[in-house]
A and B are shown apart, each in its own frame.
Chain A
Amino acid sequence: MIERHYIELINGEIDGVNTPEQSSELGRYLETHPEAERYYDELREIGRTFEEIEELDPPSGLRRAILASTSRRARRPQRESYLARIRETLMPQARPRYAFAFVAGALVGFCVFAVSSLVMLRGTIAQPDGLYGTLTAGPGATEILSSECIPFDLPHLYGGACIEHSKDAVQANLDLATDEEIHIIFEYDDQIRFEGLRALDESEHTVRIERNRAELIHRGECGYVLVFSDASDTGSPLHVSITADDALLFERSIVPSGE
Protein backbone atom coordinates (compact mmCIF):
# COMPACT_ATOMS: atom_id res chain seq x y z
CA MET A 1 0.00 0.00 0.00
CA ILE A 2 1.54 3.28 -1.09
CA GLU A 3 0.83 6.27 1.12
CA ARG A 4 -1.18 9.07 -0.47
CA HIS A 5 1.65 11.53 0.10
CA TYR A 6 4.04 9.43 -1.96
CA ILE A 7 1.47 8.86 -4.71
CA GLU A 8 1.31 12.63 -5.03
CA LEU A 9 5.10 12.86 -5.10
CA ILE A 10 5.25 10.17 -7.79
CA ASN A 11 2.74 12.03 -9.95
CA GLY A 12 4.50 15.32 -9.30
CA GLU A 13 7.81 13.75 -10.36
CA ILE A 14 6.28 12.45 -13.58
CA ASP A 15 4.82 15.87 -14.35
CA GLY A 16 8.14 17.54 -13.53
CA VAL A 17 6.72 19.83 -10.86
CA ASN A 18 8.50 18.48 -7.75
CA THR A 19 11.05 20.62 -5.93
CA PRO A 20 14.58 19.15 -5.56
CA GLU A 21 13.75 18.32 -1.92
CA GLN A 22 10.57 16.48 -2.94
CA SER A 23 12.49 14.55 -5.60
CA SER A 24 15.13 13.48 -3.04
CA GLU A 25 12.45 12.47 -0.56
CA LEU A 26 10.75 10.38 -3.24
CA GLY A 27 14.06 8.82 -4.30
CA ARG A 28 14.75 7.69 -0.74
CA TYR A 29 11.25 6.27 -0.42
CA LEU A 30 11.43 4.35 -3.71
CA GLU A 31 14.73 2.74 -2.71
CA THR A 32 13.06 1.07 0.23
CA HIS A 33 9.62 0.42 -1.26
CA PRO A 34 9.75 -1.84 -4.34
CA GLU A 35 5.99 -1.74 -4.78
CA ALA A 36 6.07 2.05 -5.01
CA GLU A 37 9.03 1.88 -7.37
CA ARG A 38 7.13 -0.49 -9.66
CA TYR A 39 4.10 1.80 -9.58
CA TYR A 40 6.31 4.79 -10.44
CA ASP A 41 7.91 2.89 -13.34
CA GLU A 42 4.52 1.84 -14.69
CA LEU A 43 3.19 5.39 -14.69
CA ARG A 44 6.39 6.69 -16.25
CA GLU A 45 6.12 4.05 -18.93
CA ILE A 46 2.70 5.38 -19.88
CA GLY A 47 4.24 8.81 -20.45
CA ARG A 48 7.04 7.29 -22.53
CA THR A 49 4.56 5.39 -24.65
CA PHE A 50 2.60 8.58 -25.30
CA GLU A 51 5.79 10.08 -26.69
CA GLU A 52 6.01 7.18 -29.15
CA ILE A 53 2.62 7.95 -30.63
CA GLU A 54 3.11 9.79 -33.87
CA GLU A 55 1.25 12.91 -34.83
CA LEU A 56 -1.30 12.42 -37.58
CA ASP A 57 -1.35 14.39 -40.79
CA PRO A 58 -4.69 16.11 -41.26
CA PRO A 59 -6.56 15.12 -44.44
CA SER A 60 -5.17 16.99 -47.42
CA GLY A 61 -8.37 18.89 -48.19
CA LEU A 62 -9.09 19.98 -44.62
CA ARG A 63 -7.44 23.39 -44.77
CA ARG A 64 -9.07 24.16 -48.09
CA ALA A 65 -12.45 23.10 -46.72
CA ILE A 66 -12.05 25.32 -43.65
CA LEU A 67 -11.09 28.33 -45.71
CA ALA A 68 -13.86 27.71 -48.21
CA SER A 69 -16.50 27.43 -45.52
CA THR A 70 -15.29 30.55 -43.74
CA SER A 71 -15.05 32.59 -46.90
CA ARG A 72 -18.70 31.74 -47.60
CA ARG A 73 -19.44 33.32 -44.25
CA ALA A 74 -17.13 36.23 -45.08
CA ARG A 75 -16.66 38.76 -42.32
CA ARG A 76 -17.74 42.29 -42.93
CA PRO A 77 -14.43 44.14 -42.76
CA GLN A 78 -14.34 46.13 -39.58
CA ARG A 79 -11.38 48.26 -40.44
CA GLU A 80 -12.22 51.80 -39.54
CA SER A 81 -12.93 54.07 -42.47
CA TYR A 82 -10.33 56.59 -43.45
CA LEU A 83 -12.63 59.35 -42.21
CA ALA A 84 -13.04 57.61 -38.85
CA ARG A 85 -9.29 57.37 -38.52
CA ILE A 86 -8.85 61.04 -39.30
CA ARG A 87 -11.59 61.91 -36.80
CA GLU A 88 -9.84 59.80 -34.20
CA THR A 89 -6.52 61.46 -34.98
CA LEU A 90 -7.94 64.95 -34.82
CA MET A 91 -10.04 64.42 -31.72
CA PRO A 92 -8.41 61.65 -29.70
CA GLN A 93 -9.68 63.02 -26.40
CA ALA A 94 -13.10 64.26 -27.53
CA ARG A 95 -15.59 64.36 -24.65
CA PRO A 96 -19.38 64.58 -25.02
CA ARG A 97 -19.59 67.79 -22.99
CA TYR A 98 -17.44 69.55 -25.57
CA ALA A 99 -19.48 68.20 -28.45
CA PHE A 100 -22.07 70.97 -28.30
CA ALA A 101 -19.43 73.69 -28.31
CA PHE A 102 -17.61 71.95 -31.15
CA VAL A 103 -20.75 71.55 -33.29
CA ALA A 104 -21.82 75.15 -32.65
CA GLY A 105 -18.33 76.42 -33.56
CA ALA A 106 -18.27 74.26 -36.67
CA LEU A 107 -21.66 75.60 -37.82
CA VAL A 108 -20.60 79.20 -37.36
CA GLY A 109 -17.34 78.49 -39.16
CA PHE A 110 -19.14 76.77 -42.01
CA CYS A 111 -21.52 79.71 -42.46
CA VAL A 112 -18.64 82.19 -42.55
CA PHE A 113 -16.76 79.94 -45.01
CA ALA A 114 -19.82 79.51 -47.27
CA VAL A 115 -20.53 83.23 -47.46
CA SER A 116 -16.90 84.17 -48.10
CA SER A 117 -16.53 81.39 -50.69
CA LEU A 118 -19.57 82.65 -52.58
CA VAL A 119 -18.07 86.09 -52.67
CA MET A 120 -14.55 84.97 -53.61
CA LEU A 121 -15.41 82.21 -56.06
CA ARG A 122 -18.28 83.87 -57.84
CA GLY A 123 -16.45 83.42 -61.12
CA THR A 124 -15.67 79.70 -60.71
CA ILE A 125 -18.85 78.29 -59.19
CA ALA A 126 -20.20 77.81 -62.66
CA GLN A 127 -17.09 75.76 -63.52
CA PRO A 128 -16.91 72.99 -60.90
CA ASP A 129 -13.86 71.44 -62.58
CA GLY A 130 -11.92 74.47 -61.51
CA LEU A 131 -12.30 73.57 -57.84
CA TYR A 132 -9.00 71.73 -57.96
CA GLY A 133 -8.23 69.65 -54.88
CA THR A 134 -11.55 70.27 -53.21
CA LEU A 135 -14.66 68.89 -54.82
CA THR A 136 -13.47 68.08 -58.28
CA ALA A 137 -9.98 67.41 -59.42
CA GLY A 138 -8.49 69.31 -62.28
CA PRO A 139 -7.93 67.38 -65.50
CA GLY A 140 -5.20 64.81 -65.02
CA ALA A 141 -4.38 65.95 -61.51
CA THR A 142 -5.11 62.63 -59.81
CA GLU A 143 -4.71 60.32 -62.73
CA ILE A 144 -3.18 57.13 -61.41
CA LEU A 145 -0.51 55.82 -63.74
CA SER A 146 -0.12 52.56 -61.93
CA SER A 147 -0.83 50.91 -58.62
CA GLU A 148 0.91 47.90 -57.19
CA CYS A 149 0.09 46.10 -53.96
CA ILE A 150 2.56 43.73 -52.36
CA PRO A 151 1.53 41.48 -49.48
CA PHE A 152 4.21 40.81 -46.85
CA ASP A 153 4.32 37.45 -45.14
CA LEU A 154 7.89 37.44 -43.96
CA PRO A 155 9.53 35.96 -40.87
CA HIS A 156 9.42 39.28 -38.99
CA LEU A 157 6.76 41.12 -40.87
CA TYR A 158 3.14 40.76 -41.81
CA GLY A 159 1.05 43.26 -43.77
CA GLY A 160 1.42 44.89 -47.14
CA ALA A 161 2.34 47.91 -49.20
CA CYS A 162 0.47 49.62 -52.01
CA ILE A 163 2.46 52.00 -54.19
CA GLU A 164 0.52 54.36 -56.42
CA HIS A 165 2.16 56.44 -59.10
CA SER A 166 0.27 59.43 -60.38
CA LYS A 167 1.57 62.08 -62.80
CA ASP A 168 3.21 64.24 -60.20
CA ALA A 169 3.33 62.12 -57.08
CA VAL A 170 4.00 58.71 -55.62
CA GLN A 171 2.01 57.55 -52.64
CA ALA A 172 3.04 54.55 -50.56
CA ASN A 173 0.44 53.08 -48.23
CA LEU A 174 1.98 50.71 -45.74
CA ASP A 175 0.25 48.34 -43.37
CA LEU A 176 2.80 46.79 -41.04
CA ALA A 177 2.65 44.35 -38.15
CA THR A 178 5.90 43.18 -36.66
CA ASP A 179 7.46 42.12 -33.38
CA GLU A 180 10.94 43.23 -34.33
CA GLU A 181 12.35 46.54 -35.42
CA ILE A 182 12.28 46.74 -39.19
CA HIS A 183 13.66 49.32 -41.61
CA ILE A 184 11.70 50.17 -44.73
CA ILE A 185 13.93 51.99 -47.16
CA PHE A 186 12.74 53.86 -50.22
CA GLU A 187 15.39 54.84 -52.74
CA TYR A 188 14.71 56.99 -55.76
CA ASP A 189 16.30 59.19 -58.38
CA ASP A 190 16.54 63.00 -58.42
CA GLN A 191 13.08 63.40 -59.95
CA ILE A 192 11.46 62.22 -56.74
CA ARG A 193 11.38 64.13 -53.47
CA PHE A 194 10.03 63.00 -50.11
CA GLU A 195 7.13 65.24 -49.07
CA GLY A 196 5.81 63.74 -45.89
CA LEU A 197 4.71 60.79 -43.82
CA ARG A 198 1.66 60.20 -41.73
CA ALA A 199 1.20 57.38 -39.21
CA LEU A 200 -2.40 56.22 -39.07
CA ASP A 201 -2.05 54.73 -35.59
CA GLU A 202 0.12 55.37 -32.59
CA SER A 203 3.35 53.54 -33.15
CA GLU A 204 7.03 53.46 -32.45
CA HIS A 205 8.61 54.86 -35.56
CA THR A 206 11.41 57.11 -36.77
CA VAL A 207 11.95 58.61 -40.21
CA ARG A 208 15.34 59.40 -41.69
CA ILE A 209 15.48 61.40 -44.85
CA GLU A 210 18.57 61.72 -46.97
CA ARG A 211 19.07 62.67 -50.57
CA ASN A 212 17.39 60.02 -52.77
CA ARG A 213 16.53 57.96 -49.73
CA ALA A 214 13.76 57.82 -47.09
CA GLU A 215 13.97 55.32 -44.28
CA LEU A 216 11.14 54.40 -41.94
CA ILE A 217 12.13 52.52 -38.80
CA HIS A 218 9.11 50.76 -37.37
CA ARG A 219 8.08 48.35 -34.65
CA GLY A 220 4.57 47.15 -33.75
CA GLU A 221 1.42 47.47 -35.79
CA CYS A 222 0.61 50.59 -37.77
CA GLY A 223 -0.50 51.96 -41.10
CA TYR A 224 1.49 54.72 -42.79
CA VAL A 225 1.06 56.95 -45.80
CA LEU A 226 4.21 58.34 -47.41
CA VAL A 227 3.96 60.92 -50.14
CA PHE A 228 6.67 61.79 -52.64
CA SER A 229 6.49 64.42 -55.36
CA ASP A 230 7.63 63.34 -58.79
CA ALA A 231 8.90 65.86 -61.32
CA SER A 232 9.28 63.34 -64.15
CA ASP A 233 5.68 63.56 -65.42
CA THR A 234 5.85 59.94 -66.58
CA GLY A 235 6.46 58.36 -63.18
CA SER A 236 9.82 57.46 -61.70
CA PRO A 237 10.75 54.08 -60.27
CA LEU A 238 10.84 53.63 -56.51
CA HIS A 239 13.09 51.01 -54.98
CA VAL A 240 11.74 49.49 -51.77
CA SER A 241 13.77 47.31 -49.44
CA ILE A 242 13.03 45.99 -45.97
CA THR A 243 15.61 44.87 -43.45
CA ALA A 244 15.48 43.51 -39.91
CA ASP A 245 18.59 43.12 -37.83
CA ASP A 246 20.69 43.98 -40.90
CA ALA A 247 19.22 41.06 -42.82
CA LEU A 248 17.47 41.84 -46.07
CA LEU A 249 13.88 40.58 -45.93
CA PHE A 250 12.46 42.10 -49.06
CA GLU A 251 13.58 44.09 -52.07
CA ARG A 252 11.71 45.32 -55.12
CA SER A 253 11.72 48.13 -57.65
CA ILE A 254 8.29 49.51 -58.35
CA VAL A 255 8.16 50.83 -61.87
CA PRO A 256 5.12 52.76 -63.05
CA SER A 257 3.57 50.81 -65.88
CA GLY A 258 0.85 53.17 -67.15
CA GLU A 259 1.11 56.18 -69.36
Chain B
Amino acid sequence: MVDDSRLAVRAARGDGRAFEKIVERYDRTIYNLAYRMVRNEDDAEDITQAVFIKVFRKLDTFDPDRKLFSWLYRIAVNECLNHLKRRKHEVVADHDYAVARQCPWDDVARGERSELLEGALMELKPEYRVVIVLKYFLEFSYREISDIAGIPEKTVKSRLFTARQQMRDALMGLGYRR
Protein backbone atom coordinates (compact mmCIF):
# COMPACT_ATOMS: atom_id res chain seq x y z
CA MET B 1 0.00 0.00 0.00
CA VAL B 2 1.39 3.38 -0.98
CA ASP B 3 2.07 5.43 2.10
CA ASP B 4 0.00 8.40 3.12
CA SER B 5 2.72 11.02 2.75
CA ARG B 6 3.28 10.12 -0.88
CA LEU B 7 -0.43 10.35 -1.54
CA ALA B 8 -0.57 13.75 0.16
CA VAL B 9 2.36 15.06 -1.89
CA ARG B 10 0.75 13.85 -5.08
CA ALA B 11 -2.63 15.26 -4.11
CA ALA B 12 -0.93 18.61 -3.42
CA ARG B 13 0.45 18.52 -6.96
CA GLY B 14 -3.10 18.26 -8.25
CA ASP B 15 -3.49 14.49 -8.55
CA GLY B 16 -7.23 14.06 -7.98
CA ARG B 17 -6.97 10.28 -7.66
CA ALA B 18 -4.48 10.61 -4.83
CA PHE B 19 -6.86 12.88 -2.94
CA GLU B 20 -9.69 10.44 -3.59
CA LYS B 21 -7.53 7.70 -2.08
CA ILE B 22 -6.97 9.79 1.06
CA VAL B 23 -10.71 10.32 1.38
CA GLU B 24 -11.32 6.58 0.93
CA ARG B 25 -8.81 5.75 3.65
CA TYR B 26 -10.02 8.22 6.23
CA ASP B 27 -13.63 9.26 5.69
CA ARG B 28 -15.00 6.49 7.87
CA THR B 29 -12.69 7.18 10.81
CA ILE B 30 -13.15 10.93 10.62
CA TYR B 31 -16.92 10.49 10.48
CA ASN B 32 -16.86 8.24 13.55
CA LEU B 33 -14.54 10.61 15.40
CA ALA B 34 -16.89 13.50 14.64
CA TYR B 35 -19.94 11.50 15.64
CA ARG B 36 -18.39 10.54 18.99
CA MET B 37 -17.60 14.18 19.60
CA VAL B 38 -21.00 15.66 18.69
CA ARG B 39 -23.32 12.65 18.82
CA ASN B 40 -25.40 13.83 15.91
CA GLU B 41 -25.23 12.15 12.54
CA ASP B 42 -26.01 15.23 10.44
CA ASP B 43 -23.43 17.32 12.26
CA ALA B 44 -20.87 14.52 11.97
CA GLU B 45 -21.48 14.44 8.23
CA ASP B 46 -21.06 18.21 7.93
CA ILE B 47 -17.89 18.12 10.02
CA THR B 48 -16.38 15.30 7.96
CA GLN B 49 -17.05 17.20 4.78
CA ALA B 50 -15.59 20.40 6.22
CA VAL B 51 -12.50 18.50 7.38
CA PHE B 52 -11.74 17.16 3.92
CA ILE B 53 -12.34 20.50 2.27
CA LYS B 54 -9.85 22.02 4.71
CA VAL B 55 -7.39 19.21 4.09
CA PHE B 56 -7.76 19.74 0.36
CA ARG B 57 -7.09 23.47 0.70
CA LYS B 58 -4.16 23.04 3.05
CA LEU B 59 -2.38 20.18 1.28
CA ASP B 60 0.35 22.60 0.21
CA THR B 61 1.25 23.17 3.84
CA PHE B 62 1.46 19.48 4.77
CA ASP B 63 4.94 18.47 5.86
CA PRO B 64 5.63 15.03 4.32
CA ASP B 65 7.89 14.19 7.27
CA ARG B 66 4.85 14.26 9.53
CA LYS B 67 2.28 11.53 9.66
CA LEU B 68 -0.72 12.33 7.50
CA PHE B 69 -3.15 10.76 9.93
CA SER B 70 -1.93 12.99 12.81
CA TRP B 71 -2.37 16.05 10.65
CA LEU B 72 -5.77 14.91 9.45
CA TYR B 73 -7.07 14.04 12.90
CA ARG B 74 -5.76 17.31 14.26
CA ILE B 75 -7.79 19.19 11.67
CA ALA B 76 -10.77 16.97 12.53
CA VAL B 77 -10.42 17.53 16.28
CA ASN B 78 -10.19 21.30 15.80
CA GLU B 79 -13.21 21.25 13.52
CA CYS B 80 -15.20 19.33 16.15
CA LEU B 81 -14.14 21.68 18.96
CA ASN B 82 -15.01 24.72 16.84
CA HIS B 83 -18.34 23.19 15.96
CA LEU B 84 -19.13 22.61 19.62
CA LYS B 85 -18.03 26.12 20.50
CA ARG B 86 -20.25 27.55 17.77
CA ARG B 87 -23.23 25.54 18.84
CA LYS B 88 -22.81 26.21 22.54
CA HIS B 89 -25.99 24.33 23.37
CA GLU B 90 -24.31 20.96 23.38
CA VAL B 91 -26.31 17.80 23.18
CA VAL B 92 -27.09 16.97 26.77
CA ALA B 93 -27.15 13.39 27.88
CA ASP B 94 -30.63 12.13 28.44
CA HIS B 95 -30.77 10.88 31.99
CA ASP B 96 -34.42 9.90 31.94
CA TYR B 97 -33.88 6.46 30.50
CA ALA B 98 -31.81 5.36 33.42
CA VAL B 99 -33.39 7.05 36.37
CA ALA B 100 -32.48 5.38 39.65
CA ARG B 101 -32.01 1.99 38.14
CA GLN B 102 -30.10 0.17 40.79
CA CYS B 103 -28.84 -2.76 38.87
CA PRO B 104 -25.44 -4.32 38.19
CA TRP B 105 -23.66 -3.05 35.08
CA ASP B 106 -23.28 -6.58 33.72
CA ASP B 107 -27.05 -7.07 33.75
CA VAL B 108 -27.67 -4.11 31.51
CA ALA B 109 -28.18 -5.06 27.89
CA ARG B 110 -25.17 -4.41 25.68
CA GLY B 111 -26.97 -1.82 23.55
CA GLU B 112 -28.14 0.05 26.60
CA ARG B 113 -24.66 -0.01 28.13
CA SER B 114 -23.27 1.59 25.00
CA GLU B 115 -26.02 4.21 25.05
CA LEU B 116 -25.30 5.01 28.68
CA LEU B 117 -21.60 5.30 28.06
CA GLU B 118 -22.11 7.54 25.08
CA GLY B 119 -24.40 9.68 27.21
CA ALA B 120 -21.74 9.92 29.92
CA LEU B 121 -19.18 10.79 27.26
CA MET B 122 -21.30 13.73 26.14
CA GLU B 123 -21.33 15.08 29.68
CA LEU B 124 -17.57 15.57 29.56
CA LYS B 125 -16.13 18.91 28.55
CA PRO B 126 -15.05 18.75 24.88
CA GLU B 127 -11.30 18.85 25.70
CA TYR B 128 -11.74 15.78 27.94
CA ARG B 129 -14.03 14.07 25.46
CA VAL B 130 -11.37 14.41 22.77
CA VAL B 131 -8.77 12.41 24.69
CA ILE B 132 -11.28 9.66 25.48
CA VAL B 133 -12.37 9.42 21.85
CA LEU B 134 -8.78 9.32 20.61
CA LYS B 135 -7.80 6.76 23.23
CA TYR B 136 -10.75 4.39 23.12
CA PHE B 137 -12.17 4.70 19.63
CA LEU B 138 -9.00 5.32 17.67
CA GLU B 139 -6.64 3.52 20.08
CA PHE B 140 -3.89 6.13 19.98
CA SER B 141 -0.99 6.25 22.40
CA TYR B 142 -0.35 9.17 24.76
CA ARG B 143 2.24 10.50 22.32
CA GLU B 144 -0.06 10.31 19.32
CA ILE B 145 -2.89 11.94 21.24
CA SER B 146 -0.48 14.67 22.31
CA ASP B 147 0.46 15.27 18.68
CA ILE B 148 -3.12 15.28 17.44
CA ALA B 149 -4.64 17.35 20.24
CA GLY B 150 -1.66 19.68 20.44
CA ILE B 151 -1.17 19.26 24.19
CA PRO B 152 1.76 17.85 26.20
CA GLU B 153 1.77 14.13 26.96
CA LYS B 154 1.49 14.88 30.65
CA THR B 155 -1.74 16.76 30.00
CA VAL B 156 -3.04 13.88 27.90
CA LYS B 157 -2.42 11.55 30.81
CA SER B 158 -4.06 13.76 33.39
CA ARG B 159 -7.05 14.53 31.15
CA LEU B 160 -7.55 10.83 30.55
CA PHE B 161 -7.49 10.11 34.29
CA THR B 162 -9.97 12.91 35.01
CA ALA B 163 -12.23 12.02 32.08
CA ARG B 164 -12.39 8.37 33.10
CA GLN B 165 -13.11 9.32 36.68
CA GLN B 166 -15.90 11.69 35.60
CA MET B 167 -17.45 9.05 33.38
CA ARG B 168 -17.38 6.52 36.16
CA ASP B 169 -19.00 9.03 38.53
CA ALA B 170 -21.66 9.88 35.95
CA LEU B 171 -22.54 6.23 35.45
CA MET B 172 -22.58 5.54 39.17
CA GLY B 173 -24.78 8.64 39.53
CA LEU B 174 -27.25 7.06 37.14
CA GLY B 175 -27.63 4.21 39.56
CA TYR B 176 -25.38 1.61 38.05
CA ARG B 177 -23.02 -0.41 40.15
CA ARG B 178 -20.72 -3.30 39.57
Q: For A51, list chain B residues within 8 Å (CB).
A: 136
Closest to A76 in B: B14
What separation, in Å, do the CA atoms of A221 and B6 have in the docked complex? 8
Interface residue? A70 (CB, 8 A)? yes
CB B11 to nearest CB in A, in angstroms, measures: 8
Residues facing B in A58-103 (CB within 8 A) are: 58-59, 62-63, 65-67, 69-71, 73-79
Query: In the complex, A59 Cα to B52 Cα: how many Å?
Result: 15
Q: Is the CB of B161 within 8 A of A11?
A: yes
Tell whether A52 pairs with B52 under 8 Å between CB atoms, given A8-B161, A71-B16.
no
Residues of B within 8 A of A179 (CB): 1-3
In Å, the complex CA distance between A73 and B19 comes to: 13
Q: Which residues of A are found within 8 Å of B114, using beta-carbon distances? A: 49, 52-54
Residues of A within 8 A of B15 (CB): 77
Q: For residues 101 through 145 of chain B, which have their beta carbon under 8 Å from a beta carbon of chain A?
A: 105, 110, 113-114, 117-118, 135-137, 142
Contact B21 A50 (CB under 8 A): no
Q: A53-B114, A75-B14 are in contact. Are A11 and B164 (CB under 8 A)?
A: yes
Contact check, B12 vs A58: say whether CB atoms are below 8 A apart.
Answer: no
Q: Are B3 and A58 within 8 A (Cβ)? A: no
The verdict on A63 contacting B27 (CB below 8 Å), with A56-B32, A75-B56 known, is yes
Q: Which residue from A42, A73, A77, A177 sits with its C-beta under 8 Å from B57? A: A73
A75 to B61, CA, bound (A): 13
CB-contact partner of A49 in B59, B117, B137, under 8 A: B117
Point out the residues of chain A lying under 8 angstroms from B136, CB to CB: 47, 50-51
> Across the A-B interface, how many residue pairs have beta carbons closer than 8 Å?
126
- Say if the beta carbon of A247 comes within 8 Å of chain B: no
CA distance A155 to B21 in the complex (A): 12
Given contacts A65-B49, A177-B6, contact A75 B113 (CB under 8 A): no
Contact A79 B6 (CB under 8 A): no
Interface size class of B (residues with CB under 8 A): 35 or more
**B16 neighbours in A (Cβ, 8 Å):** 71, 74
A62 to B28, CA, bound (A): 10
Give residues 2-30 of B contacting A (CB, 8 Å). Answer: 2-3, 6-7, 9-21, 23-24, 27-28
Q: Is B73 an interface residue (CB 8 A)?
A: no
Q: CB within 8 A of A70: which of B19, B157, B165, B167?
A: B19
Residues of A close to B14: CB separation below 8 A:
74-79
A residues neighboring B (CB under 8 Å): 7-8, 11, 14-15, 17, 38-39, 41-43, 45-47, 49-59, 62-63, 65-67, 69-71, 73-79, 151, 153, 155-158, 177-179, 221
25 contacts between A and B (CB under 8 A): A7-B161, A8-B161, A15-B135, A15-B142, A17-B142, A38-B178, A41-B178, A42-B172, A42-B178, A46-B171, A52-B113, A55-B32, A58-B31, A58-B45, A62-B27, A62-B45, A66-B27, A66-B48, A66-B52, A70-B53, A75-B11, A151-B17, A153-B17, A155-B1, A156-B2
The 3 closest A-B pairs by CB, nearest first: A77-B14, A50-B136, A158-B2
List 9 additional contacts besides A7-B161, A69-B49; criterion CB under 8 Å: A11-B161, A17-B142, A38-B178, A42-B178, A52-B113, A70-B19, A73-B56, A75-B14, A156-B2
Measured CB to CB, the residues of B under 8 A from A are 1-3, 6-7, 9-21, 23-24, 27-28, 31-32, 35, 41, 45, 48-49, 52-53, 56-57, 59-60, 105, 110, 113-114, 117-118, 135-137, 142, 157, 160-161, 164-165, 167-168, 171-172, 178
